[in-house]
């Protein structure tokens, strides 16, 4: 393996994905949003009225997890980070999520998805399917040479990527990246932040979505804590810091500081 791998795990809204995206852009690495895949499967299940506690339905959900076409397209022209608006901050690359040709980027962030994700992300069959797809994605640089249904960039995007130089590494964020998906990653981080700060960050992010303008802080905080509990307590691939991960508390750090710390360590190791 010659790809440099950076694994970033942590609880919901800890700043992982903003940090991961900016690190990936600075190093010209591929970024893979592992949570987006669980969100996509959850949306698909809800649309088909599938209930993860039903034996018949869970087989259908596992099948969706194995075979559905999910494209994760990260572009550098992003949006300002939600958490810190002054002084001006760098734009954060955005990941568009395409499910069977439909752009579901905003829909998968709705609280209804977040509330229903737990029953699906804790299922062993679903995880097995997603884990192997995510490992393959990390191995093949997100896009390179892989012909399966994991990740299929737009033709245009693919051509652009193959014309530019092959990316030297990958940054992946989630809950089980350092422990399960990439146990041999070159660098692992576990990012935490005070729950109130996390809820504020997530609220700002969600308020950008039209239907979410009236969302309450207390509701967001309660949802976050509930999801953390479920992620930590589930039997398979629980949210857990890998033994060789570096703990990063971002409560008092600016986004630039978080990114700088990771870049510095990565450059030392590369």
Q: Footprint of ligand C5P on this chain (CB under 6 A)?
A: 12, 34-35, 38-39, 117-118, 121, 174-177, 227, 231
Nearest approach in angstroms of CB 109 to ligand C5P is 8
35 or 125: whose CB is closer to ligand C5P?
Answer: 35
Give the Cα separation of 33 and 19 in Å (integer).
12
34 or 71: whose CB is closer to ligand C5P?
Answer: 34
Coil/strand/helix, residue 239: coil
Pairing of strands 4-9, 169-174: parallel
137 or 253: whose CB is closer to ligand C5P?
Answer: 137
Give the Cα separation of 12 and 192 in Å (integer).
9
Coil/strand/helix, residue 78: strand
Nearest approach in angstroms of CB 160 to ligand C5P is 26
Nearest approach in angstroms of CB 214 to ligand C5P is 22
Nearest approach in angstroms of CB 230 to ligand C5P is 7
DSSP-assigned states of every residue in 17-70 = HHHHHHHHHHHT-EEEEHHHHHHHHHHHHHHTT--TTSHHHHHHHHHHHHH--E
107 or 176: whose CB is closer to ligand C5P?
Answer: 176
222 or 270: whose CB is closer to ligand C5P?
Answer: 222
Give the Cα separation of 37 and 16 in Å (integer).
16
- Decide: 64 and 133 in contact? Cβ < 8 Å: no
Element (H, E) at 154: none
Nearest approach in angstroms of CB 206 to ligand C5P is 12
């Amino acid at each position: 393996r010659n790809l440099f791998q950076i694994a970033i795990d942590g609880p919901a809204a800890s700043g992982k994905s903003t940090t991961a995206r900016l690190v990936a852009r600075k190093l010209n690495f591929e970024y893979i949003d592992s949570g987006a895949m669980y969100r996509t499967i959850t949306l698909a299940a809800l649309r088909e009225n599938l209930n993860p506690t039903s034996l018949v339905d869970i087989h259908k959900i596992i099948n969706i997890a194995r075979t559905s076409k999910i494209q994760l397209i990260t572009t550098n022209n992003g949006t300002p980070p939600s958490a810190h608006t002054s002084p001006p901050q760098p734009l954060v690359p955005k990941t568009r999520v395409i499910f069977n040709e439909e752009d579901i980027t905003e829909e998968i962030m709705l609280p209804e998805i977040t509330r229903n994700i737990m029953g699906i992300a804790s299922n062993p069959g679903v995880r097995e399917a997603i884990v192997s797809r995510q490992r393959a994605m990390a191995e093949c640089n997100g896009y390179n040479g892989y012909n399966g249904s994991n990740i299929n960039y737009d033709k245009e995007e693919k051509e652009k990527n193959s014309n530019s130089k092959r990316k030297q590494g990958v940054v992946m964020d989630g809950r089980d990246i350092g422990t399960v998906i990439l146990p041999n990653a070159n660098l692992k981080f576990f990012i935490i932040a005070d729950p109130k700060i996390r809820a504020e960050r997530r609220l700002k992010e969600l308020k950008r979505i039209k239907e979410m303008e009236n969302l309450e802080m207390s509701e967001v905080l309660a949802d976050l804590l509930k999801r953390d509990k479920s992620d930590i307590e589930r039997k398979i691939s629980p949210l857990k810091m890998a033994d060789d991960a570096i703990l990063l508390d971002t409560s008092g750090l600016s986004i630039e500081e978080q990114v700088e710390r990771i870049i510095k360590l990565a450059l030392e190791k590369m």
